[in-house]
Chains A and B, each alone.
Chain A
Amino acid sequence: MNKVEVFEAGGCCSTEVTNPEEKRESIRFSVAMNQLASEGYDVARYNILSDTAAFDKNTTVKKALNDDFSQLPITLVDGKIVKMKSLPSNDELAKWTSLDAQKLGGKPRIRLEISK
């Protein structure tokens, strides 16, 4: 099973909050990662503020940041960088974990028609 690791920028008033589109993107990603974790996939998220040690320990990430600190978020699959500067899409996550992308959309949508 592939190991997916995502190294993210921090915290208070980070990039996503200037723009609801990005906030929604972050929600989409959180839901997908929670889903993968709950189904036992080997996924991890590291936030630079709360998991700084993980950044320091990972020489690949550290080197990428040394070149240009604005690379975050950085995604590694089995230790190799596969994506930088934006969060992985559900399709990408599905590809790396071999899970059906449909399953990563969060709770199923049920449409109710109420007639008057």
Chain B
Amino acid sequence: MFPLFDVGKLNLTPHLFFTGKGGVGKTSTACGTAIVLADQGKKVLLVSTDPASNLQDVFETELDMNFKEIPEVPNLFVTNLDPEEAAARYREDVVGPYRGKLPDAVVNQMEEQLSGSCTVEIASFNAFSHLLTDKKKATEFDYIIFDTAPTGHTLRLLQLPSAWNQFLHNSKEGTLQGGLLAGLDQQKEVYRHTVEVLSDPTLTSLVLVTRPDSAPLKEAARASSELAGIGITNQLLIVNGLLNDPLASDQTADAFAKRQREALEHMPDVLKGITTYAVPLAPFNITGVDHVRRLFVPSRGLSEPVPVSRDVDFPSLASMIDDVEKKGQRVIFTMGKGGVGKTTVASAMAVGLAERGHKVHLTTTDPAAHLDQVLHEDIAGLISMSKIDQKLEVKKYRDEVLAKARETMDENGVAYTEEELNSPCTEEIAVFRAFANIVERADDEIVVIDTAPSGHTLLLLDATEAYHREIAHTSGEVPASVQNLLPRLRNPEETAVVIVTLAETTPVFEAERLVVDLKRAGIEPTGWVVNQSKAATHTKDSVLQARAADEQTWIERVQRNAKNRYAVIPWHANEIVGYKELKQITY
């Protein structure tokens, strides 16, 4: 239904930014584009600023911030600018000179404050801007391809005059930019120029990458309108991973293709006006230049046999629930990036525990889960449910703050405050208190929650609350729920942290980063769950079989990460909802 993404025939701008939800294939499609253009004799620079980048696996070579020419692809240069590394360097620049001079406690607190996602975001934006505004590089390369794109939030913030007003800099992003830009007016010029280049449709296009699935399509629609809103209007859409000829006799393959068709039929309206290309699901994994070359050219034959997945049985969620029961853990939370199925796993664990006769309270942040309708059949007396409505909590917080800003600040100040409230942290903080209150219920029953603050937030808020305890007069009494939170979450006898992921490159990398962040806060995950696994479906479709074989390497990696405490949930055609279906995956 969509034409194939035939790079050679398209008229592309010199700068291409690939964007999309984790796991949709940004890196593979960006690499494919770069290789095809280089094969045509164009000089191409491929830039990765994704902290979970797997460019090294794709090119099977070590990469760093230098431009490395790829031997199998003349004219292609690749650079890996890890923004976490850049953020770490920046952090050390700020903090390092004062180590031993200022008290250790102050230095440690400064370091944590510079360890959030906003620092990383700004660091990666810095990397973009320097490449985009470097005249020499702009003329040296025919194409510069980025496998990530800046967020609308960062771009809007930098365009606001108040972002540069030092007196507003005591709040989050302000400080970071104030620090990053520290007195360099030149930098301000670089940022201005960057925004100019980004919003010039003859120079820059945004390549939205999605899977034919509802969550990534929604994310693509959001990114599309957000970035169009700040002037990046030259956009195209790649639907990656279409299963075109499902094996007719195979239930899984048939359901898989049907689900894709339905997702595309219900594609968000904003995407319908965008030129769209298709990339079929590849019957191989995307490592090695040869494979990437084939990505957009499905007709090209494979030189090796399609890999076949071994038919293995994986541990089920039941054994993990048994473990939780045996240990007597009373707080269970599922963590993972959006779209991996945290709510499903949390609900299933709640059902499993209630089935084993425990009183359980289940809290989810996903209003679409409709759990109230779902669970009340047989075990109504044992499961109670509540919802943390992130949108509502954020709105309450925003409204309260903005009311004050409008009362006292001028237009620029209000605009800045408003944008600051769009930061990814606002949501996390707004739900923090609700989260703390729910955890407190574990005194009387088992509590299962499908979300948790990041380790970074917990550390900062813990220090903050320590500070509040001493100055109770400014903020009133600190609730016991907040005081006890971190010690409780750190105690493995009390708390089980379940990491949810998919058996694919980016989701596994993202989950691993989540674990590092939790460990910093002294929280050790109890187990891992691999959700939506094709390898666990025993499909016979050859393309899905090849994907399943690729999944197995990631499942093995999860198994090692989890020190064998892991479970695999097979891919389901529809979202797993309802008591009966949830019960099925817990036995």
Q: Which residues of A contact B (CB under 8 A)?
A: 8-28, 30-31, 33-34, 37, 45, 47-50, 52, 55-56, 62, 65-66, 69-70, 85-86, 105-107, 109
Task: Report B356 CB to chain A, min CB distance, Å.
Answer: 37
* Of listed A47, A49, A52, A109, residue having the most chain B CB within 10 A: A49
Q: Which residues of B contact A (CB under 8 A)?
A: 94-95, 97-98, 101-103, 105-106, 109-110, 113-114, 116, 118-119, 165-172, 175-176, 178-179, 182, 396-397, 400-401, 404-405, 407-410, 413, 417, 425-426, 429, 432-433, 456-457, 460-461, 464-468, 470-471, 474-475
Contact A15 B467 (CB under 8 A): yes
Partner of A47, one of B114, B170, B465: B170
Task: Report B169 CB to chain A, min CB distance, Å.
Answer: 6
Contact B464 A18 (CB under 8 A): yes
B178 proximity list for chain A (CB < 8 A): 47, 49-50
- Interface of B, helix, strand, loop or mixed by DSSP: helix
Partner of B471, one of A8, A48, A86: A86
Contact B404 A28 (CB under 8 A): yes
Contact A105 B425 (CB under 8 A): no
Instruction: Report the tally of A-B residue pairs with Cβ distances under 8 A.
Output: 157
- Assembly CA distance A106 to B433 (angstroms): 31
Contact B401 A30 (CB under 8 A): no
Given A12-B118, A49-B114, the answer on whether A22 and B106 have CB atoms closer than 8 Å is: no
Given A10-B110, A12-B113, A47-B178, the answer on whether A31 and B408 have CB atoms closer than 8 Å is: yes
Contact A10 B408 (CB under 8 A): no
* Of listed B165, B171, B426, B433, residue having the most chain A CB within 10 A: B171
Given A27-B417, A52-B102, the answer on whether A12 and B116 have CB atoms closer than 8 Å is: yes
Partner of A70, one of B417, B461, B470: B470
Given A49-B175, A55-B102, the answer on whether A13 and B429 have CB atoms closer than 8 Å is: yes
Given A10-B175, A14-B172, A62-B102, the answer on whether A31 and B413 have CB atoms closer than 8 Å is: yes
Closest to B405 in A: A27
Contact A26 B171 (CB under 8 A): yes
Closest to B471 in A: A85
- Assembly CA distance A30 to B426 (angstroms): 20
B410 proximity list for chain A (CB < 8 A): 106-107
- Assembly CA distance A37 to B97 (angstroms): 30
Which 6 residue pairs of A and B lie closest in terms of their CB atoms, listed nearest first? A106-B408, A24-B404, A20-B400, A11-B175, A69-B105, A50-B178
B401 proximity list for chain A (CB < 8 A): 20, 23-24, 27
- Assembly CA distance A105 to B461 (angstroms): 30
Contact A65 B106 (CB under 8 A): yes
Given A13-B113, A106-B407, the answer on whether A69 and B106 have CB atoms closer than 8 Å is: yes
A8 proximity list for chain B (CB < 8 A): 170
